[in-house]
Structure 1
Amino acid sequence: MTWPLRAELDGDNTRLVDRLCTVALEGLPRMYRPDSDEFAFTRARSTSGELELRGTSTRYAAIVALGAQWLPEEKQRAVLGGMNVEEFVALLVSRLDRTTNLGDAGLIAWAAAQSAHPLLPKALERLRELDDPNKPQYVVEASWVVAALASSIGQAEVKDHLAAARERLLVSRHGNSPLFPHGTGPGLLPWYRSHVACYADQVYPIQALAILHRMRGDEEAKTAAVRAADRICELQGPGGQWWWHYDARTGGLVEGYPVYTVHQASMGPMALLDLTDAGGPSYREAIERGLRWITDPAEHRGHETEPIVHDADGVTWRKIYRGDPKKVVRAVQGLTTKAVPGLHMPGIDAAYKPFALDRECRPYEFGWLLYAWLAR
């Protein structure tokens, strides 16, 4: 199937994204739990070799709604258990009273704003109830609050809440570092990893600030987004890898692995394309390098292993990782860079090579994929 992609790519990558969007339409209905009208947390290969559903996730359901918004209605219903996006978002909003997580509420409000849903005021009211301005928040969730409020401009009165949420996100950075931390303030992380931020901590602020600039011409927000985007592109791996852990104080790398398929195909392109659409620079070269990793990961060259994409099963395997016990490499590199920024333990990378493949797939991976490539 050929999809109307939002960005021009070379021929191989165009075919790959077309293929991945089709895989998403195969996989998402199999991740839906019709008995409870919820999406599973994950679909994973069991020890017997079967694909099985595990858990449920309100967060992932909201992300699927954000992506499914850009599908024709008949495909929305195929993905969302027979509902279209308006009906599915109404279901999510109706359950907000039982939602206590700020990030989940932010995503639901964002989905309501993006779809111009009549229940947006209710979603924003619950978001205000959960958002304590005096409490530090995870940067990912704080970014979703900004994205939701910025997307609500012109539909609801969000000026004061948005001003506070914007300020919280922008001042969370360490000094002149271009990168965002894991939390907007102290107290969320143990001391030995308080400097460590992940890829998601960069992608979601870039996206939220890009949306904010697009909606109201916020140059400071755009500048912060471009600085973060430029830096993660500078640090991109030689095989197109979007690395996982950064030093938020210096803008350096702490530990590259795991490399996640969702970052390569969905989250990275999503944030960078949103920034370009908001008047930022083009990141096409970095996006294309990241996509090429999916079908030819450098970590698996010369090794017998299965592919990441499984069309008939409707899955893309989640990540390539080291397989080190108790994530020892991450812990060691976190400690050494905490003590001396930029210092890495010699030899540990060679001791734990990234060959392992995580055979699970989560619905948000496909939700962000559809958003990344179909959003207009």
Structure 2
Amino acid sequence: MIISPNFGVKLLRPTAASKLSRNSPLVNYALNGLERCWLPEHRRWSHIYHLDGRASPNESVPGSDVFYTLNVLLGMSRVAGIPAGIDLPETFRRNVLQLTQLPVRKHAFGMALWSAAELGLEIPEPVKCELRAILSDESGWRTFRAQDLGMLLTGVVAQARAGENEWWRHARPLYRFLKERFHSKSGLFFDAPFGLRRRFSSFATQTYLSIACYQYGEFAGEASALVMADTCVRNLIALQGPQGEWPWFFDAVSGRVVDFYEVYSVHQYGMAPALLEWAERFGQRGSRDALVRGFNWVLGQNQLGRTMLVPELSLTLRSQVHKGELTTKAPRVLRAVKNAWLGNGERLIDGTDVEVRLECRSYELGWILWSFGRRTDLPGLTNNCAFGGV
């Protein structure tokens, strides 16, 4: 297929087929799925693509759409064959400018730094001004969540790698703040610098801060950052579920799992592989096996014995969740607090009490592009027959 300026499917042309043939079947699967999430009137990818059969499956939440679009563009920086009709510079500029006009979290600005560096694109001046204010106001960092800090530090390092040295002076203060306020003696990371909520951290918390530590540690030659990242990864691998499940919620003080659910597909096929790529590079034992086991969970080696792919749409199912908890977080919160208070480690429940969340989010497919766009050493995953491989 090829992609038109409206990112719609047209008849196959040899040049387009040749371009996409440079990608693995897994990458093309994600690109095809993203075509369904495209909002042509806004020139961005959607917040949610609902898989419950509704007539209009794409749901737009502007601030989230923009952040997800920057995440997708980050992934596309690693794709060999970009579909015709995707204008990366125009899509980046149009969406990054929205960061100053929409309510977005600080991590969206970190993603702007990171994706711009990987794509070799200039950040517009209004966004630079906002970034300067965020990075210079160290008192404001007290409100950062882990994702904010992790993405900002990663973005600053990515810019420095790309030769944009304006941002580098903020790297050491950001890292110092991470080390002092987010690192737990358990080896996991806190979710926030202060408050009662900080000890309850997610898998995303561990991923974003570990990637930031690997990035900063390698570029700055800071051994303590590499040690923190390696320790976190080693702990995560030890806590991985029996079928490769990456737990969702941790007590960072004790280093225990306080709730396995939801088990998110994006962690299995996208975010964990992004982190474990770094761990492999630094010789972390077991990282490749953990990556493969986690990915195979998506292919059906899970509690429900079902694939988390939707092949006819080239999309994925978002997660497996406790029955009755698709629209409420209250039971999850109570479980986490109870387990932390009693010092319990949570286990998986019986599969008969698990259901599937019928949605896909565009950034999830973006993480596939980032984690596997350049990998040729895992053909059992990237060329799997589930994605049209052989």
* Bin for the TM-score computed over the shorter chain: 0.7 to 0.9
Gaps of 5+ in 2: 2-22, 376-390
User: What residue number does 1:281 align with?
Assistant: 284
Against the structure 1 CA distance between its residues 37 and 241, is the aligned structure 2 distance closer, same or farther, given a 3 Å change threshold?
same
Any idea what SS the aligned residue of 1:212 has?
A: helix
Distance 1:146 1:83 in 2: 28
Asked if the contact 2:214/2:229 (under 8 Å) is kept, the reply is yes
Aligned to 1:21: 27
- Looking at structure 1, the residues matched to 82 and 371 of structure 2 have their Cα atoms a distance apart, in angstroms, of 20
Aligned-pair RMSD on alpha carbons? Answer: 2.6
Q: Distance in 1 between matches of 2:32 and 2:86?
A: 17
Q: Within the alignment, does 1:265 sit opposite 2:272 as a pair?
A: no
Q: Is the 8 A contact 2:66 2:98 kept in 1?
A: no
Residue in 2 that maps onto 1:7: none
Q: Aligned with 2:250: secondary structure?
A: strand
| TM superposition shift of 1:67 | 0.2
Distance 1:101 1:175, change over 3 A: closer
2:149 is aligned to 142
Using the alignment, how far apart are the partners of 1:242 and 1:220 within structure 2?
Answer: 25
- The alignment status of 1:35 with 2:34, answered yes or no, reads no
Matched, 1:182 2:199: no
Q: Give the secondary structure class of the aligned counterpart of 2:275.
A: helix
Please give the alpha-carbon distance, in whole angstroms, between the structure 2 residues aligned to 1:228 and 1:258: 20
Per the TM alignment, residue 199 of structure 1 is displaced from its structure 2 partner at its CA by 0.4
- 1:309-338 CA distance string (max 9 Å, x none): 122212111111112343454233222234
Contact 1:44–1:361 (CA<8 Å) still a contact in 2?
A: yes
Determine the structure 2 residue equivalent to 1:109: 113
Q: Is the 8 A contact 1:206 1:225 kept in 2?
A: yes
Q: How much has 1:97 moved relative to structure 2?
A: 2.5
Partner residue of 1:170? 179
> 1:9: which partner in 2?
none
Q: Report the alpha carbon displacement of residue 29 of structure 1 after superposing the two structures with TM.
A: 1.4
Task: Describe the superposition over 1:268-320 as per-residue Cα deviations: whole angstroms up to 9, x where unpaired.
Answer: 0011103433x34251010011111112243114xxxx632122212111111
Aligned counterpart, 1:364: 363
1:87 maps to a residue whose letter is: E
1:307 lines up with 2:307 in the alignment: yes
C-alpha displacement of 1:71: 1.9
Say which SS state the counterpart of residue 158 (structure 1) adopts: helix
The answer for the alignment partner of 1:92 in structure 2 is: 95
Give the corresponding residue for 1:67. Answer: 75
**2:388 equivalent in structure 1:** none
How far apart are the structure 2 equivalents of 1:353 and 1:139? Answer: 34
The secondary structure found in structure 1 opposite 2:333 is helix
Q: CA deviation at 1:217?
A: 1.9
Q: What CA distance in whole angstroms lies between the structure 2 residues aligned with 1:247 and 1:24?
A: 33
Count residues with an aligned counterpart: 342
Deviation track 1:34-78 (CA, whole Å, cap 9, x = no partner) reads 1111211010123x4556000131110110000011223542x4x
| Partner residue in 2 for 1:152 | 159
**C-alpha offsets along residues 138-182 of structure 1, whole Å, 9 cap, x if unaligned?**
101110000100111132222331122111222223541211111
Which residue does 1:373 correspond to in 2? 372
CA distance in 2, matches of 1:19, 1:83: 19
Structure 1 segments unaligned to the other structure (5+ residues) = 2-16
Asked whether the equivalents of residues 213 and 222 of structure 1 are also in contact (C-alpha less than 8 Å), the reply is: yes
The separation in 2 between residues aligned to 1:97 and 1:49, in whole angstroms, is: 33
Paired letter, 2:332: R
The alignment status of 1:161 with 2:160, answered yes or no, reads no
Q: Report the Cα distance in structure 2 between the residues aligned to 1:217 and 1:164, rounded to whole angstroms.
A: 15
Moved more, 210-219 or 257-266: 210-219
Q: Distance in 2 between matches of 1:235 and 1:343?
A: 10
Quote the Cα distance in structure 2 between the aligned partners of 1:294 and 1:74: 25
Residues 74-130 of structure 1: per-residue CA shift (max 9 Å, x gap): 42x4xxxx3332332222333332145311111112111122223377644422223
Q: Tell me the distance in 1 between the aligned counterparts of 2:353 and 2:243.
A: 13
User: Aligned to 1:324, what secondary structure does the other structure show?
Assistant: coil
Q: TM-score, normalised by structure 2?
A: 0.80
**Contact 2:47–2:361 at 8 Å: present in 1 too?**
yes
C-alpha separation in 1, matches of 2:278 and 2:43: 30
Give percent identity, aligned residues only: 23
Taking the aligned partners of 1:44 and 1:199, their CA distance within structure 2 comes to 24
Counterparts of 2:24 and 2:320 in 1: how far apart (Å)?
Answer: 23
Q: Distance in 2 between matches of 1:356 and 1:372?
A: 27
Measured in 2, the distance between the counterparts of 1:102 and 1:110 equals 13
